[in-house]
Amino acid sequence: MLQVLVLCHGNICRSPLAEVLIEAAISADPLLAGRVVVSSAGTSDEHAGEGMHENSAAILSARGLRSSHQARLFTPAIAATIDLVLAADQANLRNGRSIIRMADTQPEIRLLRDFDPTAVGRDLDDPWGYPPTEYERTATEITAAIPGLLAELRDRL
């Protein structure tokens, strides 16, 4: 079973949104369904235990996808169980690498938007504190990276 984790700062906006969108795409792919598990975490514990941000949850609910979530901190113990970490932006890539260095086994870590060959910029900007349209933009950018990510996951299996 391939373990993938999406990483952002607080684990309430971007990473849970990406987790569920990627999870839905994987479950619809006969080559990946049942062979890849997706989760998410944050590099900060400031929102640990909280649910998903209401704007991220609304996007998922509108698509008929789950919006239940409990934010958690990315730790070396979690890192040791993961095969691939998908960081939302450069800051979380750096912070994630620091956490991974303390793990017994070290997963690969990459930027999520690196899987979108048409991406302008590499960061998935944080929509926190912005209107719902920014969350929609975030969902669109995540969705654009999914085909490239699925191709990568197929190659790994």
pLDDT tens-digit series, residues 21-64: 999 999 999 999 999 999 999 999 999 999 999 999 999 999 99
Confidence label for 143 from pLDDT (cuts 50, 70 and 90) = very high
Decide if 50 contacts 15 (C-beta within 8 A). no
Per-residue confidence (pLDDT) for residue 138, from 0 to 100: 98
Spot the catalytic one: 14, 72, 113, 116. 14
Averaged pLDDT, 92-121: 97
> What whole-number distance in Å separates Cα of residue 102 and Cα of residue 79?
9
For the chain, how big is the Rg over CA atoms in Å? 14
Confidence label for 8 from pLDDT (cuts 50, 70 and 90) = very high
Per-residue confidence (pLDDT) for residue 80, from 0 to 100: 97
Edge-to-edge strand order for the sheet containing 84-87? Answer: 36-42, 2-8, 84-87, 108-111
Spot the catalytic one: 13, 72, 89, 126. 126
Query: Is 89 designated active site?
Result: no
Spot the catalytic one: 8, 13, 72, 89. 8
> What whole-number distance in Å separates Cα of residue 60 and Cα of residue 56?
7
Question: C-alpha angle 73/148/13, rounded to 5°?
Answer: 30
Query: Is 13 designated active site?
Result: no
Go through 83-92 and write b for each residue having 16 or more CB atoms within 10 A of its CB, e for each that does not: bbbbbbbeeb
Separation in Å, CA 109 to CA 26, 34, 99: 19, 22, 11
Averaged pLDDT, 74-93: 98
